[in-house]
Amino acid sequence: MLRLPANNTLSESIRTYGILRPLIVIKQRDTVFELLCGRQRYQVWKNDLHKDRIVCHVLQPPLQTISLLRLIFEDQRLSGLLSAVEKAQFSALCQELLTPEELSKLFELLKLGNLGYLQRITRLLTLERPILDALHAGRLSEKVGFELITMSAEDRFQLYTLFDKLSLNNNKQRRLISYMRTLCSREKSTMSDYLQKNYGELTRAAAIENAPQAGLNLLNDLQKRCMPMSSRAEKEFQDQVSQLKLPTTCSVEHSPAFEKDAVTLSISFENLADLTQKAPILLKHIR
């Protein structure tokens, strides 16, 4: 199993208030105990605070495997929502220790999903460690993790590096993946080759100034490459609207993706009284 580091929030909490939730251990012999839950709490207590004694909840064997797994899950859930990596680790442990029938029963009890989801999320553990750390920290979503699994190691690491350098949020990460799939399928190219060919300077840069704007520019450019006809139509539409020389209080919008010829004219007024005064003039010309 992966060893996830204790986060700063936990460390600060233990330094300030001590251990609020006891560790859970299983008694093996008189002075020998196996740690079941609370590794990160123990890590902070011993390595950061250099304490020798710690409060524990001691379980006496024998204990059913399924009961221990439920206890591990509930203890982890008390710390907050499980990250995608924590769910994947728990799923892998369950698959190792339980029969398919027991697995199905446990996941139903814990409301974790069906066995198909269990097997799918466990595959996240095959991702490279930097990507797993980002998943655990919430910088990548579970859905993005599932997308990355389907790619070659080179492609997914190239994308992950871009996500990180450009500080892209979840929605923008998924947009980038969608555009890249479309373009690479069209040009029969790998994602890493496509990025190196068309955005080499961006991919090679160690750091990027104004990363949010650079990320937005990249997404807009990829969108234009994906839908060149739509981009041209948008430009022609905006050119025609500008020729109307409408006042700044007016705006014109087309239908989504130009599915219909209809357009919408919007007019802003200072207040309701302003609208009331001008409405008769407008209605006279619209009818």
Tens of pLDDT along the chain (287 residues) come to: 455 555 677 888 888 888 888 899 999 888 889 888 888 888 888 888 888 888 898 998 888 888 889 888 888 888 778 889 988 998 999 889 999 888 888 888 888 877 788 888 999 999 999 999 999 989 999 999 999 999 999 999 999 999 999 999 999 999 999 999 999 999 999 999 999 999 988 888 888 888 999 999 999 999 888 887 666 777 888 889 999 999 999 999 988 766 678 889 999 999 999 999 989 888 887 76
The SS3 of residue 27 is strand
CB 84, CB 136: distance < 8 Å: yes
Contacts of 126 (CB under 8 A, 6+ apart): 149
Query: What is residue 39's predicted lDDT score, i.e. its pLDDT?
Result: 85
Peptide bond into 22 cis (omega under 30): no
Q: Alpha-carbon Rg of the chain, whole angstroms?
A: 28
Query: What is residue 2's predicted lDDT score, i.e. its pLDDT?
Result: 52
Query: What is residue 266's predicted lDDT score, i.e. its pLDDT?
Result: 92
CA–CA separation, 118 and 95 (whole Å): 9
Contacts of 77 (CB under 8 A, 6+ apart): none
Taking alpha carbons only, the member of 118, 68, 65 closest to residue 92 is 118
Q: Report pLDDT digits (tens) over 46-79.
A: 888 888 888 898 998 888 888 889 888 888 888 7
| Structural element, H or E, at residue 118 | helix 115-122
Query: What is residue 54's predicted lDDT score, i.e. its pLDDT?
Result: 86
Query: What is residue 231's predicted lDDT score, i.e. its pLDDT?
Result: 67
Query: What is residue 140's predicted lDDT score, i.e. its pLDDT?
Result: 95
Which spans in 22-64 are helix H?
39-43
φ/ψ of residue 205, rounded to 5: -65, 130
Residue spans of the domains in the chain: they are 240-286
**Tokens, residue 141:** 């979503």
